[in-house]
Structure 1
């Protein structure tokens, strides 16, 4: 089966945990997520690639009742119960001025100079690469045995004001709840296209 490709391919069980059996959850079991687990997610996701190792993602892990209540205010009606019930929700943002960190993140060359004076280009790069990092976050969470519920239904200006007020160059990208998913909260998996539907090899 999977071993037809490479000796080091992940097991079918691991692929099921990360992809084939993983789901986006709408409800959560009453089980806590520890700070140690959040650190473990970060320690995995930070190893995945971003352009010039720019690492533009900036995350606020919403865990306290006060922070959770604040976030619930700014998500659409259909997402309020999801956020309220989740043990943790990650506000996944990005730093428009990520280039200020490049002297130590990418010390091989003067990468900072590539982005100076080009705020539009920086924002585009930060958004793209923080989106990648958000996906890495979900895979990392699944890898350590947690489930995810990504969402985009929220008021971005209000979320920025509430959680990035002390860092005005940070912007929210999307949010993602993390915890132990309640199987009763999901419906039958939606169709997935085969390779030929949306792919071609040129």
Structure 2
């Protein structure tokens, strides 16, 4: 997923305030070009987060929301957890990148619960980000371990947000959602025809 993280990092608009969800999206921090001036926000109360910490850089008190040790950039600031969520809910973040269990063609997002009785729900700040960020991107594998598509016509899992996702980055390709149809922006190692068959839905391509 490091290659995909690098692809997403290049697509983040210059000067954005960006939040990265727990899991795969945190890798994006390691690939953001410094010249873009992107400022990373974490829901546990930090603005100006740098790449992941390593070796002597590790400070156990300095982590992202996923408890991964991180570095700080010049000008970094710290604040109360409640203030961090106020930033998220108040529309102050330009972009967030989240993981997902499912994303629907209309942009619906399901990433906190599979709906199974024995599943452990993991809401975190995803709902706040889904409604608060100006642009919501998703980074995920296109298919589950059992081969089931995670990009679907409509979500069967409990929703995190309605019509909030604009683009989905996966190991097989990049897709735009939320419009009249799902648009394929790029593919890797698979044809659009094969994707349509495996996903069970028609796909549009960029002219």
- TM-score under structure 2 length normalisation: 0.31
More strand by share: 2
Q: Which has the larger radius of gyration?
A: 1
TM-score (norm 1): 0.32
